[in-house]
Chain A
Amino acid sequence: MPTKSTVKKPAMAAPPATKLYKPGQPKRVPPIPAAKQAGLIRKGWIFLWLMLAASLILEHFAHPHVPFEGYGFFGIYALFGLIACVAIVLFSKLLGLILMRPADYYQNVAKERSDV
């Protein structure tokens, strides 16, 4: 016995997805050995510390300008940048405790709610 089709028609029909580019052969690049990786990371850290030191040494030649009185002490911008970033990370992660949900949250909500 023929029954009515239960497939829902979407309100707006989505066009087909953009085709992804298919490269003929992926590049064959072996993973970096662990020892070399550790060396790279150490070099990166040394570079970062050198840059930080350089930015502080630079302050001896050009003292940063603060448009408000009483805040012009040595390394104010460095201290501020460090504290601000730590605060932003901690605060955002704290908010994340309330705001973060699994990636398929809305799909699950749709499923749960559809049979209220």
Chain B
Amino acid sequence: MFDIALPPSLILIIGAVLLPLLPQLWHRGWALLLPTVTMAVIWQIPADVEQFMHFAGFDILPMTLHPFTRIFATAFALAAFLGALFGAGRMNNKELAACLFYAGCAIGVTFAGDFITLFIHWELMAIASTVIILHGGTEHARTAAFRYALMHFFGGALLLASITAHFEATGSILLIPFSVEWSDWLLVADPGLERIAAWAILIAIGINLAAPPFSSWLSDAYPAASPFGSVFLSAFTTKTAVFALLTLFAGKNLLIYIGLFMVFYGIIYAMLENNIRRILSFSIINQVGFMVVGIGIGTDLALYGVAAHAFCHIMYKGLLFMSAGSVVYMTGKHTCLEVGGLYRTMRITCACGIVGALAISAFPLTSGFISKSMIASAAGDEQLFFVWVALLAASAGVFLHAGIKFPWFVFFHRDSGLRPQDPPTSMKLAMIFTAIICILPGIFPQIIYAMLPPLETALDYQPYTPAHITSQLQLLLFGGLAFFLFIRYSSLLERKPTLSLTFDWLYRHNLKWLFLMLVKAGFGLVGGLKAWGLYFFRRLRATIYHYHGPRAILARNWEIGHTVLYAAGLLGLFLIVYYYSG
């Protein structure tokens, strides 16, 4: 019937808008149906699809298959399905609609063939996610949503400006890799518009990527959302940014260093953190850092590893957020300090949380094992010694903060006296499904590798070699030994009710103070001006009164005789002048 097929993202976007109009009873079914249909459509699209649409004088491509579109879009649709299974029926209409809309926009980004489509979906995502954070319902959620919105709208404005500059410089809005070479990246030599645009686009993507110094919005906003909203939030924004980076900036060496910074930033802050979901938020930054390093390395193995890792990461991070969300939902407690010993009554939540924790630590037989090691292997193949060592240390660090710290303090450690049950059936089902998706690719890696685009020469990569299993087990188990030795013999890892300052200190503390000072100064200035103005007008009025007031000299009643005398004098003067001049 239709000549043009619609982009799959529209199914979720339009469906989400229609959701509040449907009867309440249909919401859960509708929320599960939309991602399923989207997933089916994603796999129906032929590989050579090319579709132009006219928009504002441009030919835009809303449906393009980049090499990694399919694996990212599949992961997003799957995350939307599992998130809906977990939360639909417990979120209110607006939050559920915002979640599905958000997922649709994320899928839209993966199909964008041009910068305009990318930008539109990018901005809609920022709006939808702000709505989700706002539904956390607390005062902190309100302020965090405001900070989140400010950060992302700034990023959106920067993206739009840089797209305009890019179009001005190159005359093209197509989403193709930047051809600027590393040596050209130094702006000082020749700050051409094309290079400035490339840098600005990198910064705009970096904001969504939670790259330093824009990383604080993530750990600020995600834990503030509702337990269901944060499952959705954990999946989309950073991973669409990874997708954009993978499409535009693959192989730029600078990214290796940015990525390594993010990896260790995430680990160190997660080690200091006490809030359950904030530990996991820092761990998102850490995992995205791994992907950014892979994009920076830029070989086929690294890029394929990044795509595979993004897929696995979306799944196990969703699972960890579901597990943490269940604890928050059932106990109402948000910090490690308040919970502990929950394994006895929340058995399924605990088991699923442990599966997620093992997957994020890349234990053998989990999905993380087959994907994360591809990035490290790529660093080894390229003989990047320090990168390889740092990634190895980071792998052990991930096990430390997300693999042990999260489940240990939440489900074991000391008995907190809380006896919550496992969450309701739909939430348990969602967790079990996600746990299965975290384990299956670990046993059958072909599932993930089949979603990656075919290469001319097959990748020579085998995750399951005895050597790899041994080395990974040694690395992780001895890392675990360090953790438990610290727990037993020192109080260094003891939980404390603290927060750690991060980049947002600059604007939450100082900018706010500066702003308040400016406001005060402004009011002072206005007050001063007002006082001076009043003084001036009082003086003016007094002066006028002095001369023109009822008894003033210029307002006096002059007698008629004086006037006649003056007039006669003037006439006499006139006569004299007239006689002598004539």
Chain A residues at the B interface, C-beta cutoff of 8 Å: 10-12, 14-18, 20-21, 23, 26-29, 31-32, 45, 48, 51-52, 55-56, 58-59, 61-65, 67-68, 75, 77-82, 84-93, 95-96, 99-103, 105-106, 109-110, 113-114, 116
Contact = CB atoms under 8 A, between A and B. Distances in A.
Given A18-B91, A64-B474, A100 B393 contact: no
Interface string B428-465: 00000000000000000000000000000000000001
Top 7 A-B residue pairs of the complex, sorted by shortest distance between their CB atoms: A17-B137, A62-B466, A67-B380, A64-B471, A85-B482, A81-B478, A84-B393
Contacts of B543: none
B46 to A, nearest CB: 40
A96 B272 contact: yes
Given A12-B145, A29-B345, A68 B385 contact: yes
19 contacts: A14-B139, A14-B141, A14-B142, A18-B136, A18-B329, A20-B330, A20-B332, A62-B466, A65-B471, A67-B388, A84-B393, A88-B267, A89-B483, A90-B492, A96-B500, A100-B272, A100-B496, A102-B498, A109-B513
A1 B480 CA distance: 69
Interface residues of B, number: 85
Contacts of B397: 84-85, 88
A81 B498 CA distance: 28
B146 interface: yes
B230 to A, nearest CB: 11
Given A18-B91, A88-B393, A106-B508, A55 B135 contact: no
Interface stretch (B112-120, B243-251, B419-427): B419-427
A87 B267 CA distance: 12
B227 interface: yes
A58 B268 CA distance: 31
B541 interface: no
A88 to B, nearest CB: 5
B227 to A, nearest CB: 7
B501 interface: yes
A65 B492 contact: no
Q: Which of A85, A92, A113 has the most CB of B within 10 A?
A: A85
A84 B396 contact: yes
A68 B350 CA distance: 39
B499 A100 contact: yes
Given A100-B496, A101-B498, A106-B509, A23 B421 contact: yes
A17 B142 contact: no
State the majority secondary structure of interface residues on B: helix
B539 interface: no
A19 B513 CA distance: 35
A28 B420 CA distance: 10
A62 B423 CA distance: 43
Given A58-B466, A64-B470, A103-B498, 13 more contacts: A14-B137, A20-B329, A21-B424, A29-B344, A64-B467, A68-B388, A88-B268, A89-B492, A100-B501, A101-B501, A105-B501, A106-B509, A109-B508
A16 B136 CA distance: 8
A85 B467 contact: no
B561 interface: no
A61 to B, nearest CB: 7
Contacts of A52: 477-478, 481
A28 to B, nearest CB: 7
B415 interface: yes
A56 B415 CA distance: 34
A62 B469 contact: yes
Given A59-B474, A62-B466, A18 B135 contact: yes
B148 to A, nearest CB: 11
Contact of A93 (B146, B399, B492, B516): B492
Most buried by A among B344, B482, B513: B482
Given A62-B467, A78-B475, A113-B513, A23 B268 contact: no
Nearest to B490: A89
Instruction: Name the residue among A15, A26, A29 with the largest chain B CB count within 10 angstroms.
Output: A15
Contacts of B509: 106, 109
A21 B516 contact: no
Contact of B272 (A48, A64, A79, A99): A99
B493 interface: yes
B137 A16 contact: yes
Contacts of B513: 109, 113, 116
A100 B345 CA distance: 33
A89 B420 CA distance: 31
Interface centre among A32, A77, A109 (most CB of B within 10 A): A77
B415 A32 contact: yes
A59 B472 CA distance: 11
A15 B135 contact: yes
Given A65-B468, A67-B381, A15 B396 contact: no
Nearest to A52: B477
Contacts of B396: 80-81, 84-85, 88
Nearest to A16: B137
Residue in A59, A64, A79 whose Cβ sees the most chain B Cβ within 10 Å = A64
A103 to B, nearest CB: 5
Interface in B496-520: 496-502, 508-509, 512-513, 516-517, 520
